[in-house]
Structure 1
Amino acid sequence: MINSETRQDEGLKSLGRKTEYRMDYAPEVLETFVNKHPDNDYWVQFNCPEFTSLCPITGQPDFAEIRISYIPDVRMVESKSLKLYLFSFRNHGDFHEDCVNIIMKDLIKLMDPKYIEVIGLFTPRGGISIYPYANYGRPGTKYEKLAEHRFMNHNMGR
């Protein structure tokens, strides 16, 4: 079992502390820790079924499930900081497609994964659902090819 002192030694600030929620988009709350298995390729998936943001035009809330899947390299995102980051969109106005791309780009900047994909399953408004998908594979590697393949086939199961 890992205690909070060990996590603090890794530089993590959110884990084990009183939760403070940000009122607007806050990428600075994201934290990482060292991947103990960088030589293995494996998937990490996060599902956030209660994502909310605001329509930048009407100010009405938008609701979605955000799914993040990635293959880590040296750094991994800490889950509580990811939760706080995703919650920071609650009062942030952006279109669905922008939210998905911003989340992906922030996570690439944060941890430089081998591969990452972000899907937003937004609930219908006006009778239309929007499901934006964005992905990235490290250029010049097999992960770039994986990104191309998954991008071209991402909707095959629906």
Structure 2
Amino acid sequence: MTFTREKEGLQSLGSPTQYSMDYAPEVLETFENKHPENDYWVRFNCPEFTSLCPITGQPDFAEIRIAYVPAERMVESKSLKLYLFSFRNHGDFHEDCINIILKDLVRLMNPKYIEVVGLFTPRGGISIYPYANYGMPGTKYELMAQQRFETYDIQR
């Protein structure tokens, strides 16, 4: 099976990079998971995530960690980079950013399981580390999401 950008309908990969100046979920793209029968983790770390405080307009900085078990579709990494960059001039609280990212990726891929954590740098002497997850309803991943949420430890 030869992978081609055109076959998958990908627009970002291999094209000149165009950055959106505000929240842009429409830039997210997927491709076919060639191993949907396997359970395996895909992890992305974005150590240079930025967004804006919706009250002060000051920049917030974080490392965003996304880990998921794919089903039929997977997120294309360049489109994910462009999507995360689109938060750069977007004003939302830390917890909102993490939940928006989770919901957009669930809507995009319908993964078996996904979790998103934000390791935000301190503001006013306090760090905020929001965590959100999702497991496909009616499957073992729904239970996995519940168990991981109940035992979540930021040190992992």
Q: SS at 1:129's partner residue?
A: coil
AA in 2 matched with 1:89: F
Post-superposition CA distance 1:74-109 (Å, at most 9, x none): 000000000000000000000000000000000000
Post-superposition CA distance 1:19-58 (Å, at most 9, x none): 0000000000000000000000000000000000000000
Which of 113, 120, 123 lines up with 1:125 in the alignment? 123
Match of 2:140 in 1: 142
Match of 1:50 in 2: 48
Q: SS at 1:46's partner residue?
A: strand
Q: SS at 2:71's partner residue?
A: coil
Q: With the length of structure 1 as denominator, give the TM-score of the two structures.
A: 0.95
Correspondences of 1:95-114 after superposition (within 5 Å): 95-114=93-112
Q: SS at 1:125's partner residue?
A: coil
Match of 1:61 in 2: 59
- Name stretches of at least 5 consecutive residues in structure 2 with no aligned partner: none
Q: SS at 2:61's partner residue?
A: strand
Cα distance in structure 2, aligned partners of 1:50 and 1:40: 31
Q: SS at 2:121's partner residue?
A: strand
Q: With the length of structure 2 as denominator, give the TM-score of the two structures.
A: 0.97
Cα distance in structure 1, aligned partners of 2:16 and 2:26: 17
Structure 1 moving runs of 4+ over 2 Å? none
Identity of aligned residues (%): 79
AA in 2 matched with 1:119: V
CA drift of 1:149 comes to: 0.8
AA in 2 matched with 1:98: D
Correspondences of 1:69-80 after superposition (within 5 Å): 69-80=67-78
Equivalent pairs counted in the alignment come to 155
The answer to whether 1:27 aligns with 2:25 is yes
Distance 1:156 1:108, change over 3 A: closer
Q: Please, what is the CA RMSD of the aligned residues? A: 1.2
Cα distance in structure 2, aligned partners of 1:120 and 1:157: 13
CA drift of 1:156 comes to: 6.6
Q: SS at 1:65's partner residue?
A: strand
AA in 2 matched with 1:140: G
Match of 2:89 in 1: 91
